[in-house]
Amino acid sequence: MLHAAQVRVIEGARRFNVLECGRRFGKTTLGVDLAIDKALDGKPVGWFAPTYKLLADAWRELVAGTEPVAVRVDRQEHRIELLTGGVIECWSLDTPDPARGRKYARVLIDEAGIVRDFEQAWNGAIRPTLADYQGDAWFFGTPRGRNYFHQLYTKGQEARAEWISWRFGTVENPAIAPAEVEAARADMPTAVFEQEFLGIPADDGGNPFGLAAIRACVGALSAASPAVWGVDLAKSQDWTWAIALDGAGAVCVSDRWQGPWSATLERVAGLVTKSNARAVIDSTGVGDPIVEQLQTRCGGLVEGFHFTAQSKQQLMEGLAAAIHQRTVTIPDGPLVAELESYTYEYTKGGVRYTAPDGLHDDGVCALALAVRARSAPRPRFLVA
């Protein structure tokens, strides 16, 4: 059952519909209802999410909602076929050319505020799929600064025949207690609360470094030799990422990989000893024995760093200071993308720094560790 605000959206819909809303408004639930409705009409529908992890909840709802009328559910391909001839296909936008060759009567983009390279994804991959059916599109998300998703919201506020946009706060969902929203208002900075609970984008999108400040630090990859290293060791499906800064604070090496711990140990040891440069390396959990072995092999060059909520806050505040003071230079690409998507939230225990759900922060952590290494005294005992 849709709540009153969701019903108002459906009643006022046009061809291109943008919902910039607070968290827990019910965006995904509304999207699932719209997807199933069009598929029941015998039409093909495309659902897009930033990552497969962020697709998981919507996929479960789509499968449950179509169970009485589904004739085939392909969980590997994320495809549902209905008795009516309608089809729902789900895609992750972190894969190249999603939905190439497909045609849809309706597309839905979930969590559009955190889609990486969203303008390119929309214009180059998703929009062409609507041509055959002259299909409609729905964009759902909590804003993340004034990025392309917010630009589409602005387009929907203009006098355009095919576009419309809405902004609703979390409190519009009757399942969310107003007292909980007010408690969050009391605990959070105004800009962060307005973005996360009212759907009003913050100037920097809740980014702890500042989007403009990050861009001011973008420069070419340095050709100089490493002066310090920061290494974030892989956790589960993450990457090990090693970043070196030269004497002027410019990134001169940005190397990431996945593989067994034995190979990682050899690779990091080789990078550190060859450059004869100080390294601060993540020693959390399984990283602790790796760091111990590196310290044995590399001597005083290696320092371990144990991640806790408090130590991570201090580490990220050091990186933020370096970015704002422009004492670090960062090459454009995956590392800048991670920095721009990074976020923070205020909790009762302090500030929590993290990547958005489904994304990674290996590069951010490695860069922060390198900045820490640069600010510490150079060890007296180096490897010959």
pLDDT at position 367 is: 97
**Cβ count within 10 A of residue 229:** 27
Residue 115: which region, alpha, beta or left (left: phi > 0; alpha: psi -120 to 50)?
A: beta
pLDDT of residue 244: 97
Q: Which CATH superfamily is domain 4-190 in?
A: P-loop containing nucleotide triphosphate hydrolases (3.40.50.300)
Two structure tokens written together for 287: 């990283």
Rama region for 210: left / alpha / beta (φ>0; ψ in -120 to 50; rest): left
- DSSP letter string, 214-266: HHHTB-PPP-SPPSEEEEEPP-TT--EEEEEE-TTSBEEEEEEE---HHHHHH
Phi and psi at 328, nearest 5°, equal -135, 145
Domain map (residue ranges) of the chain? 4-190, 211-375
Are 359 and 52 in contact, with CB atoms under 8 Å apart? no
Q: Which two tokens stand for residue 110?
A: 């979930």
pLDDT tens-digit profile, the chain (384 residues)? 899 999 999 999 999 999 999 999 999 999 999 999 999 999 999 999 999 989 999 999 999 999 999 999 999 999 999 999 999 999 999 887 899 899 999 999 999 998 988 999 999 999 999 999 999 999 999 988 878 898 899 889 887 889 999 999 999 999 999 999 998 888 776 777 888 899 988 776 667 888 788 989 999 999 999 999 999 998 656 789 999 999 999 999 999 998 888 999 999 999 999 999 999 999 988 778 989 999 999 988 999 999 998 899 899 989 999 998 999 999 988 888 788 878 876 665 667 788 776 677 899 999 999 999 998 755 443 333
Looking at residue 56, its pLDDT comes to: 93
pLDDT at position 162 is 95
Question: What is residue 255's predicted lDDT score, i.e. its pLDDT?
Answer: 93
For residues 135 and 22, give the distance between their C-alpha atoms in angstroms, rounded to a whole number. Answer: 27
Query: 211-375 sits in which CATH class?
Result: alpha beta
303: part of which helix (H) or strand (E)? strand 302-305
Calculate ∠ Cα 79-81-87, nearest 5°.
75
CA atoms of 86 and 41, how far apart (whole Å): 7
The reported pLDDT for the residue numbered 350 is 64
What pLDDT, on a 0 to 100 scale, did the predictor assign at position 378?
53
CA distance 315 to 243: 15
pLDDT score at 191: 76
Helices (H), ranges, the chain: 4-11, 27-40, 52-66, 118-121, 148-157, 178-187, 190-193, 211-216, 261-275, 287-298, 309-324, 334-341, 362-375
Q: Measure the CA–CA gap between 177 and 185, rounded to whole angstroms.
A: 13
